[in-house]
Amino acid sequence: MPLDPQLLALLACPLDKGPLLYFADEETLYNPRLCRRYSIVEGIPVMLVDESETVDQDEHERLLAKAASDGITTNFDSGEGAGSAKPS
């Protein structure tokens, strides 16, 4: 079950508050800056640091290559922070 786009736009890594890559087919959100992977269980993102997984370099490179080949980009612009207001 894919994440609702409105929910996805609000999610940020709980450690660095930065954007995530969403791999719907793997039910995973990934922070490439910290090499942290967050599971999605029954359509609910598990955004707890203690429940996340640190991936090794090979897996990190695989995820980045997959994102590039599948056209996956971060869920928000890192210059804005999740939930921040856009300047008018």
Sequence ranges of the domains in the chain: 5-70
Three-state SS annotation for 18-84: CCCEEEHHHCEEEECCCCEEEEEECCEECCCHHHCEECCHHHHHHHHHHHHHHCCCECCCCCCCCCC
Note the pLDDT tens digit of each residue in 41-67.
999 999 999 999 999 999 999 999 999
Note the pLDDT tens digit of each residue in 19-41.
999 999 999 999 999 999 999 99
| pTM for the whole structure | 0.85
Class of the CATH domain delimited by 5-70: mainly beta
Per-residue confidence band for 1, with pLDDT thresholds at 50, 70 and 90:
confident
Q: Is the pLDDT of residue 79 over 90?
A: no
